[in-house]
Amino acid sequence: MLEMYPELKPYNTGFLKVSDLHNIYFEEAGNPNGKPVVFLHGGPGGGITDSMRRYFDPKKWRIVLFDQRGCGKSTPFAELKDNTTWDLVADTEKIRNHLKIEKWSVFGGSWGSTLALAYSITHPSVCTELFLRGIFLLRKKEIDWFYQEGCSRIYPDAWESYVKPIPENERHDFVQAFYKRLTSPEASVRKEAAHAWSVWEGSTSKLIPDSDFAARFGEDDFADAFARIECHYFTNKGFFTEDNWLINNVDKIRHIPTVIVQGRYDVVCPADSAWALHRAFPEAELHLIADAGHSLSEKGITSKLIEYTDKWA
C-alpha cells in the first residue's frame, strides 16, 4: 500500500488576474524542471489543501495547484458572478500559458474529474495524461441521488440534519430550496444552509464515517464558499448544454492515457458514473477500490493514484 509523499512547501506562489472581477491564487511545488501536472480540486468551491501536493514524487513532478474562482485564497470570496465551468476551463488554460507550460498531465477528483474532462475535451492537445478519481458527470440523476432522495436511505441520520433548514413545502426540490437560502441577504440564513449542505457531504464521503472530517466541512469560511458555489453550479446544470455532455464528447480524448480510480462504496459519486465513463472510454484503465468510499484520502484510493503518478512520472 503506497502512502503519500512527505509534506511539501510550494516554491512559487502568486495570483493571476483572469477577469475584471476574479483573481486566482496558484502555487507550484516539487521540481521546477519536472514533468508538469495540474491538480484540479473538488467542489466546485472546495479549494486546495497542503496534502494535495503529496500525491506526486516531488523529485519528478512540477506540481501546479490553484484555488478555483470564489474559493480558497482566490478573490472575491464565494463570488457567483462570472463563475461557470467554462470560466474555470479558461482559467486553467490561462494558468498553463502564464507558467509557460507546453503540455501537462491533469489530475482531478469528484468535481475535479468533471473539470478535468471538460478541460481536456476543450484542450486535448495540451493534456499528456488524465488521473481521474470519484467520477462526477454532473448529470441530473447524480444530483437527484445525492441531494434529493437516494442517499437518504443509507445515511438517514445525516440526512435529517441536511434537510433541517428546509421547510416541508419546499422539500420537493432541495437544490433550489438551498440556493434560495445560500443567496439570501440574511447572513444567519446563509450560514445555517451552508453548514447543513457542507456537513452532509463531509458526513458521507468516507466508507467509515469520520466525525472530524465532517466537522471540517462545517467550518464557516469553507462551508460558505463550498455550499454557495456547488449549489450555483448544480442549479445551472453545470453550465453544460446537455445532460450527458461529457460522455457525448469523450471521443475527443480517447487517445490520452487515462486512469479512473473509483471507490466501490462511493455514495457521493456512485460507481455507475465511473462505469459509464469507462464504457464510453474503454481505453481508460478503471480501478474499483473495494474498501473505499468517495474521499481522496482513503488508503486504497491514495495508493492507487500514487501508483499511477509514479508510473507516469
Domain ranges of the chain: 12-140+240-311, 147-238
User: Which of 48, 6, 52 lies closest to 24 in space, CA to CA?
Assistant: 48
Is pLDDT at 83 greater than 90 in this prediction? yes
Is pLDDT at 215 greater than 90 in this prediction? no
Judging by beta carbons within 10 Å of its beta carbon (0-12, 13-18, 19+), is residue 97 exposed, middle or buried? exposed
CATH of domain 12-140+240-311: 3.40.50.1820
Compute, in degrees rounded to 10, the torsion defined by CA atoms 223, 303, 58, 8: 40
pLDDT band at 216 (very low <50, low <70, confident <90, very high): confident
**What pLDDT, in 10s, does the model give residues 19-51?**
999 999 999 999 999 999 999 999 999 999 999
DSSP, res 218? T
pTM, full prediction: 0.97
Query: Which sequence positions are flagged as catalytic?
Result: 110, 266, 294
Is pLDDT at 283 greater than 90 in this prediction? yes
